[in-house]
Structures are given as structure tokens and as C-alpha cells.
Amino acid sequence: MSSIPGAEQRKVWPVDRFVELMRRLERADGTRALVVLGPAEGAEVQKAFEAVAWEMGPAAPIFLKGLTLVELASVIEASRLFLGNDSGITHMAAALGVPTVAIFGPSDPKIWSPWGRHVALVRSNIACSPCSQETFVECQDIQCLKQVSVDDVLAAVSHMAREG
């Protein structure tokens, strides 16, 4: 599906969910997130995260952008957990053996999910997902991602922490 213009942005979990997840993790146990912003996130997502950083003050996530793949791999490899969208970077985290929570929407996880011993996949079970390339191009709402809740992702994070 990545050959479709704008496809990567359409596989990104809503930014407000990531923000709520970071807030809840920080409140629960002081976890401070490291957020890597790449081209798929775009300017709107980056602005939203900057606003959150201002609001959260010293508890705000640490933001990284503009990393080379080697730098990114080094950062990921040193992490306790990787949480990401359906992307090549999520596959990299799983391949590096880092406990990985992958959020999936329109892509078929039977084909595209990352492989690894410590990988949890989070997705909604709606009738149209996974979708065909034609349906993906026509879809205006991406309910398959919007229906993945923060609680769903927190459950996967908690599961990975227990496995860890």
C-alpha cells in the first residue's frame, strides 16, 4: 500500500491518541516517552506534539527528528519498548529484538505485521479492515485506526511489560 501517494500518513494512529497515551503512561509510573518524528508524521503532527510538550513541561516527551537510519536504529535498540504505527521503522524495532507494540489499521497484518518474539499487534476488528488497495484509496474516514483506543494500546503495552 505504500506506493499510494499519502499512504504513510493514512496509516498513522490519530495524534490525540498518542498524546493521551503519553500522558497516561507518565501519570501511571513516570514513564517519559521518546518520540521520533519522521516524514510520515508531517507538520500537523509535529505541531500537535510541540503543543503537548509545552503543556506537560518537565514531564514532556523527548522529541527527535532528522535522524539517519543508523542513529534511529541505535536509539531504538537502547529502548525498553517501541510503540509505532504500521511502518518500516516498527519492523526495524521488532527485528532489533526490542519489545514492540504495532498499531495497525488498513494493512493486512497477516502479510505486513512485524515479526519477532516480542511483538504485540493492536488493531480494531471492523468489517472493512484489512482493506484492498482500491478501498484504501477511496476511504475517507480510516475508522480502522480511529477505533483503536488508548486502552487497547495500554493493554498491549502492559502485556509487553509483563513479558519483558
- Domain of 20 in residue numbering reads as 9-163
Closest alpha carbon to 59 in 29, 87, 15, 84? 29
Per-residue pLDDT at 57 exceeds 90 = no
Query: How far apart are alpha carbons 48 and 85 in whole angstroms?
Result: 17
Q: Is residue 3 part of a domain?
A: no
Q: List the grid coordinates of 159.
A: 502485556
Q: Is residue 33 part of a domain?
A: yes
Whole-Å CA distances, 65 to 34, 117, 151: 11, 28, 27
Split at pLDDT 50, 70, 90, the class of 5 is: very low
Q: Is residue 117 part of a domain?
A: yes
Point out the least confidently predicted range of 2-6, 109-113, 155-159: 2-6
Give the residue with greater pLDDT, 45 vs 5.
45
- Number of domains making up the chain: 1
For range 119-145, the mean pLDDT: 78
For range 24-29, the mean pLDDT: 85
Query: How far apart are alpha carbons 54 and 68 in whole angstroms?
Result: 26
Contact status, residue 75 vs residue 96, Cβ threshold 8 Å: no
**114: domain CATH number?**
3.40.50.2000
Q: What percent of the chain has pLDDT over 70?
A: 86
Q: Is residue 147 part of a domain?
A: yes
- Three-state SS at 109: helix
Q: Is residue 2 part of a domain?
A: no
| pLDDT, position 152 | 96
Split at pLDDT 50, 70, 90, the class of 32 is: confident
pLDDT in tens, 80-96: 999 999 989 999 999 99
Q: Is residue 152 part of a domain?
A: yes
